[in-house]
């Protein structure tokens, strides 16, 4: 019996395949998509079933892609919530948490939380790194 399931991938499954091909972990995919790690694991299992593979390595071979080097692919701003995007855009303009809070009618601690979550999702370690990485993206209109 052929374990290959010929059904097409859903759009969510295709998005997860794209993340997997970029070398993302289940945790990173879950954070970006706003789902649990368990949900991502279940979706990956469905992808494996539909494509007749048994591991990430098999999936990479199936798509004829070499494994990416760690840290090369950065998530895009599209993995941030709309509020996180608003806060990040204010931050890269040099606004303080206090000013962002006033402008967006939030508390300073909420602004700090949005920034912290954005840093995790974007795999960045500091506000300074956020500014350096994203000013170029904003200048080239790579912002949703």
**Between residues 3 and 27, which one has the greater pLDDT?**
27
Name all domains of the chain by residue range, CATH numbers in brackets. 11-62 (1.10.10.10), 77-139 (1.10.10.10)
Q: What is the pLDDT of residue 56?
A: 80
Q: What is the mean pLDDT of residues 20-37?
A: 85
In which residue are the tokens 């859903």 written? 10
Q: What is the pLDDT of residue 138?
A: 62
Q: What is the pLDDT of residues 71-84, one digit of tens each?
A: 445 667 777 888 99
Backbone φ and ψ for 47, nearest 5 degrees, come out as -65, -45
What is the distance between the alpha carbons of residues 10 and 56, in angstroms, rounded to a whole number? 18
Are the beta carbons of 115 and 127 closer than 8 angstroms? yes
């Amino acid at each position: 019996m052929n374990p290959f399931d010929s059904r097409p991938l859903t759009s969510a499954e295709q998005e997860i395949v794209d993340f997997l091909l970029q070398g993302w972990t289940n945790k990173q995919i879950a954070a970006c998509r706003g789902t649990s790690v368990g949900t991502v694991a279940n979706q990956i299992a469905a992808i494996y079933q539909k494509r007749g593979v048994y591991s990430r390595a098999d999936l990479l071979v199936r798509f004829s892609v070499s494994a990416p080097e760690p840290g090369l692919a950065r998530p895009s701003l599209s993995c941030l919530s709309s509020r996180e995007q608003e806060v990040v855009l204010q931050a890269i303009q040099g606004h303080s948490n206090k000013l962002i809070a006033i402008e967006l009618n939030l508390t300073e601690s909420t602004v700090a939380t949005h920034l912290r979550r954005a840093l995790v999702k974007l795999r960045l370690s500091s506000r300074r790194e956020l500014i350096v990485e994203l000013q170029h993206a904003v200048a080239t209109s790579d912002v949703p």
